Structure formats: structure tokens, C-alpha cells
Structure 1
Amino acid sequence: MSAYDELMAYQRETAALAEVAGRLSWDQETMMPRGAADQRGEEMAAMETVLHARRTDARVADWLDRAEARNAVAAANLRHIRRDYDRGVKVPARLSAELARLTSLAHRVWAEARADDNFAAFAPTLKTIVALKREEGAALADGGDVYDALLNDYEPGATASELATMFGALRPRLVALREAVLGKPQPKALNGHFDEQKQMQLSRMLAKTFGYDMSRGRVDKAVHPFSSGSGDDVRITTRTNGLDPFNCFYSTIHEVGHAAYEQGIDPAYRLTPLGRGVSMGVHESQSRIYENQLGRSRPFCGWLFGQMKDAFGDFGIGSEHAFYAVVNRVHDGYIRTEADEVQYNLHVLLRFDLERQIISGALEVEDLEEAWNTRFEADFGFAVDKASDGVLQDVHWSGGLFGYFPTYTLGNVYAGCLMKALRTAIPELDAQLAEGDLSGATGWLKARVQRHGGLYEPRAVIEKACGFAPSEAPLLDYLEAKFGALYGL
């Protein structure tokens, strides 16, 4: 065997073990008994110790030195393995294991604090996580920007300053659109009770409609919906609320976007560095275009209106147009995952700015809740009522995922670009969506984005798919056109 072949055989075993570790995380969120949390933390730490040792094994460096890239696929594999190796050797095994152990335990602490609306109960654990993430970021940065080093775990090649410039260009037009829309009469919110078992039945049907292969996946319930896995085992979760079926349906469609990306990657890349989505920004572009540009479009809403009448009978909305307006209703709210398209990115920008301050040391954990509440009221014009609607609403920081939040807005930007290209490629798209036929749209996305996996760098994936360099302009144009028409602006 050549050095490259030996390296790839070793890499496949490492990737398989990482999938097992991922399944432990999935189980923790869905099936694990509450009393197993401490043991699971030890299990996760043990798995991370094994994975860290494999990723930093001296043989990997030797294979990388001797391996030859025979084609573009081999060159991309070596690029990813080199990046992971260089990262791994900078982070002490002790720190890697401690982060895995603590973030596993922190999930329970966060969930209980959230249920009790008590940030003080979570703050000591979060303070320890932040200290470890600062240490990890400093090791990775090697004298450079600590936050950028953490951001690169989720969006390789991105910098906070570049994203801040993009987000700064988004903010004025988003704020102006929000103010114009909120100055208009709003459609009434959905009213009534919707059987949660029927919600799950319709949710699974929607997953299949958007191309999710249930023979290689499953839909479960979790406090915070997520997608997990790759290749032939890609699982999603959603949540139900008897008063709000849209939360269930659009959480499902969103997570199917993530899952379809993983299921759509070229099978030849399975258990290689190319066999996963290339970045969280590109990943989010899939979930957001599935959820919003497709799932909340006027023609698809017309089809979904019929499905909901079949499932729930008369639920108080009399026409497809009224249903479309309710689905896309712009409304004040605390929760990022429930925010409308106009305001969603403002929720993300709040988190991006706060976590940069936390990692830099400009903001300490003890002051985080007050900083959150002050910023929220300044951005949205009303006060946070309780911690579960504020600083405790998201699971990310309990998992140590600093640098993850900005990829949500970057994904929205990418989705805007992809939708512009998709409409050009499929002129009959609206007619297909009106029939509940997503195959044209999802097939185009699979061919242009998903099948490549990690073959290209993140920005290059979007540029190749669209035929133009990504920017925030298509997203803003889409939002202004859509909500301008809805609200008669």
C-alpha cells in the first residue's frame, strides 16, 4: 500500500469512531435516562481521548509527508487531514478530554437551569467552559485571533472581521424592513389546538416530501431540534407544541435540509474527510433554503394548507393566501428558532457580538445575562421576560460551540444566492412547489452543492453552484421583495 492508501485506511477507522461518538451525543439528547448523565460524560471524555490520540498520531504526520495527491479528491482529503492534524497537535489531550466531559455534563445543567429560568445555576458551569474554550482558542490561534481560531472549526477560512463587515451591511436594510413591516396591520396568529401525534405524522410526511431517506434516518423529538450523523445513518429531531404546529413542521423541514446534505454526498466519500458537509455555513444554506425560500414560499404554502386541512380539519384559516400570510407573519418574539425571516438574523448578530466579547475577555460570564437583556431591548424594543426566553434559550454555549452562531447568518446569505441561481435554472419552480413537488429544487441542490461534500472550500462550493461570488445582496433583495408584497410596502 502507498502512504496515501495507508493514511486513508487509518482515516476511515477514525471517522467510524467519530460517528460512534456522535451517536452517543444523539442518544443523550433523545433517549438517554436522566440519571446517566455523569457516566455519559465519562464515556464522551474516553471517546475524545481515543479520537485525539488517533488524530495526532505520529504516523499521520509521516503519511502526510510521504503521500502523493494523485487527483483532486486525494488532494482534498490530504488538505482536510492536514488541517485536522495541525489543529489536533496544538490542543493538549487533557484539554480535549476535559472539554468533552464537561460539555456532556453541562447539557443537563443548562436544561435544568433553563427549565427553572435560573441563569445563576448555569453560570458557574458556563464560566468553566469559557475558560477552557479560551485556552483551546489560544492554543489554536498560535498568537493570532482567538475567536477566529474557534470560528474556523465551523467555517474554515472565515474571519470575524470579514463576517462583521458582511453583517454590518445586512443590518440597516433588515432594520428598515422590520420597521416598515411592523408598522402595517399583522395577520392574526394561528389559534387552536393541534394534536401532537398528528403533527408528528405530518412532520414525517414533510420530511419525505423534501427528499429525506427514512431508510437511512429517523425523526425523533428533542428540546432543541438538531441533525446528527452522515452517510447511511443521518438522524433528525423536531419538537411539538399543541398550540403551534408550525414550530414542528418548519423545524423538521430545517433539519431535513441538514440531513439531505449529508445523505446527498457522493457515496464514494463515505467515512473520508470529504464525506461530511464542508462547513456549517454551507450546511445552514441547505437548511435555510429548504425551510424558508422553498418551505415558506407562496406556492408551497398553498399545498401545505391542503395537507393541514386534511390532517386537522377546519383550523380557522379560510384561504391559501391567508395561510401564506400567517406562515410568514412578522411578529415580536424572544426565540431565535421561532423568529420570522425578517428578524432572524438580528437574533444571530446579537449572539455573534456577545460571544466575541466573551472569548476576548471584554465580557465575563457573570455579566452575560445583563448584557444580553440590554442588547436585546436595544435591538428589538422590548424587554426580555425570563432567562429561558433570553440567555438560556440556546443549547450552543453549553456545548462549547463558540464560533458557531455566525454561520447561521452566513448560511442565510448563501441560501439567498442559491435561490437566485435556482430560479434561473428551474423557471417552472413555482408550479412544481404548488404541487408539493420538491424534486426539482432538491435535485438541483444535490447536484450543485450536496454531492461535493468536502471536495471544495466552503465559499468555492457556493460560487461554483451559483456562478457568481456570494454576497448579502440576493438575500436582502429576496426579503424586501417577499415582505414588501405581503405587507403592501
Structure 2
Amino acid sequence: MSAYQDLMVFQRETEALSQVAGRLGWDQETMMPRDSAPQRGEEMAAMETVLHARRTDPQVADWLAKAETSSEVEVAQLRHIRRSFERASKVPAKLASEIARVTSQAQGKWAEAREADDFKAFAPVLKEVVSLKREEGAALSAGGDVYDAMLDDYEAGATAAELSSMFDALRPRLVALRAAVLDAPAPAALSGKFDEGAQMKLSRQIAKTFGYDMAKGRVDKAVHPFSSGSGLDVRITTRTSETDPFNCLYSTIHEVGHAAYEQGINPDYLLTPLGQGVSMGVHESQSRIYENQIGRGCAFTGWLYGQMRDAFGDFGIADEDAFYATVNRVQNGYIRTEADEVQYNLHVLLRFDLERAIIARDIEVDDLEAAWNERFKADFGFAVDKASNGVLQDVHWSVGLFGYFPTYSLGNVYAGCLNEAMRAAVPDVDSALARGDTSDATRWLRDNVQQHGGLYTPQEVIEKACEFAPSEAPLLTYLEDKFGGIYGL
């Protein structure tokens, strides 16, 4: 075989092993016995040792040097493999293994501390995670910006400076919109209790409505909803609250957006570098457009209102219009994943600034809870009441995902652009959504974004789909129009 063919055979095995490692993580969050965490940490470390050795194998460099390409796909495959090889080669194998071991164990300790509202109990292991990630970032940056090196794991080519400029443009109009909305009369809130079994049943129905292939996936419960896997095995989780069914239903739609991306990738790319989402920003664009522009839109909520009444009976909301307003109700709250569209990005920007400060050593772990509480009070105008509503609410730092948070807001920006382009291309999309038929919308996203997997760079994917360069303008216009209408601004 040619050097390219040999490399792809080797890479396919690496990708398969990576999927096995991901399945261990899924199991840890959904089914693993609580006291199994120490052993699982060792298992994850062993898998990372094997994967790191493959990613840095000198034979990969030799194949890359000799490989000849004859198509756009082959060029893209080599781009990803070369990038992975160069990045992995900068990180010592022992460090990569230790990060896998510590973050696996830290995840369980975070969950316990969150349940107990005790940040001090979590701080020691978080210090270990931060120390290891700083070391990894320093190795990856090779004298450059450490945080940018971390960010590159999730959004290749992006820099903190570029994202800060975009976020600085978002903040003033978001703050002004929030102030105007909170000064206006609020729509009715849901009240009462909603059977959690019925929530899960409806969430699975909605997952299928959005095109999630349950023959190649499943829906389970976890402390923090997530999507895992790619290709023929893509799993999602959600969570339930007896008093808040929207938490379950919209967490499900959000994670289905991620899962649909993975399931929608060209099957020819299975178990290759192109066979997964190209970046977390593009990934988040899919989850956010599914959840918000489609799932919280007036057309779809009209259909959902009927499904809610079938599942729960009369729950106190008079009609479809009132339900649309309730779904999009803006209110003060602590939790990012439960935040309305107006305030969601403000939650992300808080985390973005704090984690940059942690990596830069401007603040240390022992000071993190106080720094969080101070920033939250300044940004949202009220105090954090407990750690699970503050610094302990997200799993990301426990598993070492520094550089991940800004991709949430970048994904919102991308979603705003894609929504504008989709509605221009499919002008009658709301007619189908009002019947609970998402196929026109999801087909456009699959054809223009999802099927490409890693074929293009993140920005290229969005530009090709939208036929314009991504910016924050479409998102801000969408939010101001939508909430201006709901709140009579």
C-alpha cells in the first residue's frame, strides 16, 4: 500500500481506540458505580498512554512525509493528522497519562462537592488539575500564549484576543436588552409538578422529532447533560426536575443538536479525522440553533404546547402564544445551562474571563469561589447563594476543559449566522415547524454544515453555509427582534 493508505489504516485504529476511551467517560457519568472512580481513573490513564503513543509514533511522521494526496478529502485528512501529531509530540507521555488519571477522579469529586455545596472539598483536586493543565499549556504553546494553546484544542485557529473583541461587541447590547426586558411585565412561569418519567418519555419523542437516530444512540440521565461519541454510536444525556420540565426537554434538544451533527457526517469519513465535528464552536452552533432558533421559536413551541398538554394535562398556560412567551421567559437565575437566550452569553463571558485569569496565575484556585461570586454579583446584580449555583455548577474545569467555555458563545454567534442563512434559503420553514416537522430545517443544516465533518476549517464551514463571514450582528438582531416582540419593547 501507499504511505497514505498505511497511515489511514493506522489512524483508523487510533480513532477506534479514542471512541473506546470516550465510552469509558460516558459510562462514568451514567452507569458506573460510585466507588469505582479510582479504578476508572487508572483505566483512563492506561487508555491515554496507548493513545498518546500512537499519536506520537515516529512512523506517523514518516508516513506524513511520504504521503501523496489526490483529493480535497485526502488533503484534509493529512491536515488533521499532522496537527494532532505535532500537538501530541509537544506533551510528554507521562503528563498526558497523569492528566487523564487525575481528571477522571476529579470528575467524581466535583459531583460529590457539588451535591454538598462545598467548594473547599473540591479545591485540592482542582489545584492538581490546574497545575497539570498549565504544564500542558506551556508545552503546547512553546513560549507563546498558553491560553491560546489551550483554546486551539477546541477551536483551531481562534485566539483569546479575537474572541474578546467579538464578546466586547456582544456585551453592551445584551446588557441593554436584559435591562429593558427585566423592566417589562414578565410572562407567566410554569408552576406545579411534572412527572419525571413522563418528561423522559416526551424528551425521547422530541429527540426523534429532531432526527436523532435512536438505533445508533440512546438517551440517559446525568448530573450534567452531554453528548458522547460519533458515527454509528452517538449517545446523549439529559436531566430532570419535577418542577421544571423545560430543563429536561431543552437539554435534550440541545444535546440532540450535538448528536445530529455527529450522525449527519458523511459516512465515508467514519473512524477518520474527518468523521467528527470540526470544532466545539461549530458543534455548539448546531446545539444552540436546534435548542433556540428552532426549538424555542414561535412555530415549534406551538406544536410543543400540544405535546405538553398530552403528556401532563392542563398545566396552567392558556394557549400557544402564552406558552411561547413562557418558554422564552427572561428571569434572574444562577445556572448557565438553564439561562434564557438574553443572559446566556453573560454567563459564558464570566467563565471565559475567570479561566484566563486562572491559567495566567492572576488568581489561584483558593480564590476562585470568591472571584466567581464577586464577578457574578457585578454582572447579574444579585449574590450567589450556594456553591452549586456558583463555581461548582459546571463540570468543565474538573475534567480539565480550559479553553472550552468561549466556544459556547462563539457557537451562539455561528448559530445566529446560520439561522439567517437557513431562513433565507428555506423561507417557509416555520410552516413545517408548526406541525412538529423539523426536517426542512435539519436537512438544511445537515447538507450545509453537518455532512462535512472535519473537511473544512471551522470558519470555512460557516462561511460556506452562510455565504458571508461570521459576525455577532445576526445574533444580536435576532435576539432584539425576538424579545422585543415578546416583551413589547
Aligned to 1:173: 173
SS of the residue 1:235 aligns to:
strand
Structure 1 residue 35, shift from structure 2 partner: 1.1
Structure 2 residue 117 is matched with structure 1 residue 123:
no
Match of 1:335 in 2: 335
Q: What is the letter of the counterpart of residue 171 of structure 1?
A: R
SS class of match (1:234): strand
1:249 aligns to what? 249
CA distance in 2, matches of 1:189, 1:369: 31
1:108-148 Cα shifts (integer Å, max 9, x gaps): 11011111111000111111110110000000001100000
Partner SS state of residue 191, structure 2: coil
Q: Does 1:408 align with 2:422?
A: no
- Tell me the equivalent position of 1:23: 23
Q: Cα distance, 1:188 vs. partner? A: 2.4
Rounded Cα–Cα distance in structure 2 between residues aligned with 1:373 and 1:33: 33
Task: Within 5 Å, give how 1:88-103 maps onto structure 2.
Answer: 88-103=88-103
Q: What residue number does 1:140 align with?
A: 140
Work out the percentage of aligned pairs sharing the same amino acid: 74
Could you tell me which runs of 5 or more consecutive residues in structure 2 were left unpaired when the two chains were aligned: none
CA–CA distance in structure 1, aligned partners of residues 295 and 450 of structure 2: 18
Secondary structure at the aligned position of 1:36 is classed as: helix
The equivalent of 2:347 in structure 1 is 347
2:154 corresponds in structure 1 to 154
Specify the code of the residue in structure 2 equivalent to 1:454: G
SS class of match (1:275):
coil
Aligned to 2:211: 211
Give secondary structure in 1 for the equivalent of 2:274. Answer: helix
Identify the residue that residue 284 of structure 1 maps to in structure 2: 284
Amino acid at match of 1:355: E
User: Number of residues paired by the alignment?
Assistant: 489
- Return the letter of the residue paired with 1:356: R
DSSP 3-state at the match of 2:437: coil
Q: TM-score, normalised by structure 2?
A: 1.00
Q: In the alignment, does 2:58 pair up with 1:58? A: yes
Structure 1 distance, partners of 2:356, 2:192, is 41
SS at match of 1:362: coil
Superposed CA offset, 1:446-482 (max 9, x none): 0000000000000100000000000000000000000
CA distance in structure 2 between the aligned counterparts of 1:297 and 1:287, rounded to whole angstroms: 14
Q: How does 1:24-39 map to 2 (within 5 A)?
A: 24-39=24-39
Provide the C-alpha distance between the structure 2 equivalents of 1:188 and 1:99, rounded to a whole number of angstroms: 47
**Which secondary structure does the structure 1 equivalent of 2:158 belong to?**
coil
Whole-Å Cα distance in 1 between the matches of residues 310 and 123 of structure 2?
Answer: 47
Counterparts of 1:88 and 1:307, CA distance in 2: 48
Q: For 2:35 and 2:371, how far apart are their aligned partners in 1?
A: 34
The AA in structure 2 aligned to 1:192 is: G
List, as ranges, runs of 4+ consecutive aligned residues in structure 1 with deviation greater than 2 Å.
none
Q: What letter corresponds to residue 182 of structure 1 in structure 2?
A: L
Could you tell me which residue of structure 2 aligns to residue 44 of structure 1?
A: 44
Q: Which runs of 5+ in 1 are unaligned?
A: none
User: Aligned-pair distance for 1:69?
Assistant: 1.6
Residue aligned with 2:325, SS: helix
Q: Distance in 1 between matches of 2:89 and 2:303?
A: 52
TM-superposition CA deviations, 1:290-315 (whole Å, max 9, x none): 00000000011000000011111111
> Secondary structure in 1 aligned to 2:235?
strand
Measured against aligned partners, the alpha-carbon deviations of 1:355-396 in whole angstroms (never above 9, x if no partner) come to 000001111111000000000000000000000000000000
In structure 2, the partner of 1:437 is 437
SS of the equivalent of 1:321 reads: helix
The aligned counterpart of 1:85 is: 85
The within-5 A match list for 1:222-237 is: 222-237=222-237
How far residue 21 of structure 1 moved from its aligned partner, in angstroms, is 0.4
Residue matched to 1:419: 419
Shift of 1:430: 1.1
Opposite residue 187 of structure 2, the aligned amino acid is P
Instruction: Give matches, 1:5-20, under 5 Å.
Output: 5-20=5-20
CA RMSD of aligned residues (A): 0.4
Residue-by-residue CA offset, 1:61-95 (whole Å, 9 max, x unaligned): 00000001211000000000000000011000000
Per the TM alignment, residue 187 of structure 1 is displaced from its structure 2 partner at its CA by 1.5
Amino acid at match of 2:192: G
- Partner SS state of residue 69, structure 1: coil
Secondary structure of the corresponding residue to residue 237 of structure 1:
strand
- In 1, distance between residues paired with 2:188 and 2:417? 31
- Which string of whole-angstrom CA distances, capped at 9 and with x for unpartnered residues, describes residues 201-260 of structure 1? 100000000000000000000000000000000000000111000000000000000000
Opposite residue 406 of structure 2, the aligned amino acid is: P
Provide the C-alpha distance between the structure 1 equivalents of 2:185 and 2:8, rounded to a whole number of angstroms: 59
Match of 1:470 in 2: 470
CA-to-aligned-CA distance 1:421-465 (integer Å, 9 cap, x gap):
000011111111101010000000000000000000001000000
Cα distance in 1 for residues equivalent to 2:139 and 2:456: 27
Q: 2:207 and 2:46 mapped to 1: Cα distance? A: 35
Tell me, in whole angstroms, the C-alpha distance in 2 between the residues paired with 1:371 and 1:199.
36
SS of the residue 1:273 aligns to: coil
Cα distance, 1:46 vs. partner? 0.1
Deviations 1:158-191 (A, max 9, x none): 0000000000000000000000000001122100
